[in-house]
Amino acid sequence: MTFNTIRLILGDQLNMRHSWFKESDKSVLYLIAELHPEATYVKHHIQKVCAFFAAMQVFAHDLQQDGHEVLHLNLDQTLAFSDVSQLVRHYVKESGATVFEYQRPDEFRLATLLDEIEIQGCRIQRTESEHFLLPFEQIEQHFPQGKHIMMEHFYRKMRKNFSILMEDGKPKGGKWNYDANNRNKLKIADIERLPTPLLFGNDVTEIRATLERHNISTIGQLEGALLWPVNRNQSLTLLAHFCSVCLPNFGRFQDAMTQAHASKWSLYHSRLSFALNSKMLHPLEVIDSALSAYESNPDIDISQAEGFIRQILGWREYIRGVYWANMPDYAEYNHFDAKRHLPEYFWSGETKMACMKEAIGQSLDFAYAHHIQRLMVTGNFCLLTEIDPAQVDEWYLGIYVDAIEWVEMPNTRGMALFADGGIVGTKPYAASGSYINRMSDYCKGCHYNHSKKTQDDACPLNSLFWRFMHKHREMLTQNPRIGVIYRSWDNLDEQAQSEILQKAEYYLAHIEAL
């Protein structure tokens, strides 16, 4: 069968409400393909690969049900193609198409590949994905290359532009940001009330068999059915569950961590990031749902709603802007010249550090960790131990179900590691064991003591934190938010400082044994 037009749909472009699909056209073929290179450019979590492949299958089926012509190719059918451009050329030629269309990829690597494609006798057209709230052509004016732009300033502009939580041009409730209200630790009574997460039971047996047949190496576990949403209806169900069950307490406990409950991995977090990043959900409908819940449910105060909306309207759009304004150079930034290898326990969770064991173990079990675990546990550890940003990027990109480079890299290389020198963050988010103890119950029963610095059982984060602060003092004291910390260090005598630094060097030399 011949077609006039071939339209490519990537695995993270599952937007059923895209203008492409308003009307069916028998002369247009939609091409959706599982590709070996996309499943192996990093070692992905088994749940991540299964979630994307399952969602692509369902999306292809739903398009066909709506009357569209769809060619969905599995790994068995795409073995001959080394990349997506080769795939496209083959099917354009085979179908006799004279037009090839694609949506702008969110990843620099794929955008470059498709933007450079040339097919003789075929007109090539790129369109927008119709997903993000900040138009692509406006990124440059909001995000000058290599410059730090305050996320808060950008967020306020977006609030105004979309009239979200605004009254007469001013922020509703009188404040732009309620983050100061949202730093509560979970008490025993709070832990007992944690909600059971909504999980799905998607059968991915055939996908797993295909991955095994093709020797696709993965990380992590998948016991039985896949818990992540793989279609729009499931995504909307998860959104509704979050707004009714989790949003009333989302803000106040968004930074908290616990090991004392079966729901420790989910808490009050939405877990909508995979549905959003694959575009099964649109950010504005997520925001509208949260606003409707806030306006109709007296148990949801403004600090809960604002804290969540800031993540979608502010942070998510901001991170995308940083990525595109600074690529491809951003992928090479290494401000602290970090070169140490990622320890083996990042792949097993087998470490004596309770916080790391919890965060890594959860990531391996569920392909998920919430933002504080990613930033202040695994991210903080990688910052203090000077792990090569490329290795950290690869781990984060592979292990999390929601990880796509545009959102992973600025969060990891920028926010967690400060490898970009301050494009994302105003300061490195370095922390000692006291922070972990303040925001979690991880330190209870840990092999190490969070209050000790130099003893045999001293928490590694303590001496590593002071080593980091000491090593980079000249740079860090220029930041008024950090300078005050050095008063504690300066109050120590020279011998005490030396012992702390020696302990840090010992831990670094024995990093695999921590």
> Rounded to whole angstroms, how far apart are CA atoms 84 and 33?
9
Q: Give the pLDDT of residue 485.
A: 87
C-alpha pair distances (Å), 508 with each of 360, 465, 513: 19, 12, 10
More confidently predicted of 404 and 475? 404
Indicate the domain borders of the chain.
5-127, 136-202+230-326, 344-513
Instruction: Name residues whose C-beta falls within 8 Å of residue 15's C-beta, 6 or more positions apart in sequence.
Output: 129, 130, 131, 279, 280, 282
**Span 318-346, mean pLDDT?**
98
Residue 298 φ then ψ, to 5°: -65, -15
Examine the pLDDT at 1 and tell me if it is beyond 80: no
Three-state SS at 319: helix
Examine the pLDDT at 495 and tell me if it is beyond 80: yes
- Tokens 């006798």 belong to 121
CB 187 within 8 A of CB 12: no
Examine the pLDDT at 480 and tell me if it is beyond 80: no
**Span 439-449, mean pLDDT?**
96
Three-state SS at 317: helix
- Look up the CATH number of domain 344-513: 1.10.579.10
Examine the pLDDT at 422 and tell me if it is beyond 90: yes
Three-state SS at 112: helix
- Tell me the pLDDT band of 482, cut-offs 50, 70 and 90: confident
CB 403 within 8 A of CB 363: no
What rounded mean pLDDT belongs to the chain?
96
Q: Give the pLDDT of residue 411.
A: 98
- Tell me the pLDDT band of 506, cut-offs 50, 70 and 90: very high
Per DSSP, which regions of 187-328 are E strands?
none
Q: Give the pLDDT of residue 162.
A: 97
CB 84 within 8 A of CB 8: yes
Q: Give the pLDDT of residue 40.
A: 94
Measured N-to-C along each axis, helices 232-241 and 283-296 cross at an angle, to the nearest 10 degrees, of 30
Q: What one-letter code names the amino acid at 265?
A: W
Query: Nearest to residue 101, comparing CAs of 16, 1, 18?
Result: 18
Examine the pLDDT at 179 and tell me if it is beyond 90: no
Element (H, E) at 304: helix 302-309
Q: What is the DSSP letter of 64?
A: H
Examine the pLDDT at 483 and tell me if it is beyond 80: no
Q: What one-letter code names the amino acid at 405?
A: E
Per-residue pLDDT tens for 238-280? 999 999 999 999 999 999 999 999 999 999 999 999 999 999 9
Examine the pLDDT at 462 and tell me if it is beyond 90: yes
> Rounded to whole angstroms, how far apart are CA atoms 439 and 160?
33
Q: Select 136-202+230-326's CATH number: 1.25.40.80, 3.90.1300.10, 1.10.3720.10, 3.10.20.340.
A: 1.25.40.80
- Look up the CATH number of domain 5-127: 3.40.50.620
**Span 294-304, mean pLDDT?**
95
Query: Nearest to residue 232, comparing CAs of 274, 292, 290?
Result: 274
Residue 382 φ then ψ, to 5°: -65, -35
Question: Does the bond joining 328 to the residue before it have cis omega, within 30 degrees of 0?
Answer: yes
Examine the pLDDT at 478 and tell me if it is beyond 90: no
Q: Give the pLDDT of residue 457.
A: 96
> Rounded to whole angstroms, how far apart are CA atoms 434 and 3?
63
Length of the chain: 514
The partner residues of 279 in beta bridges, in order of sequence, read: none
Q: pTM score > 0.85 for this model?
A: yes
**Span 331-339, mean pLDDT?**
98
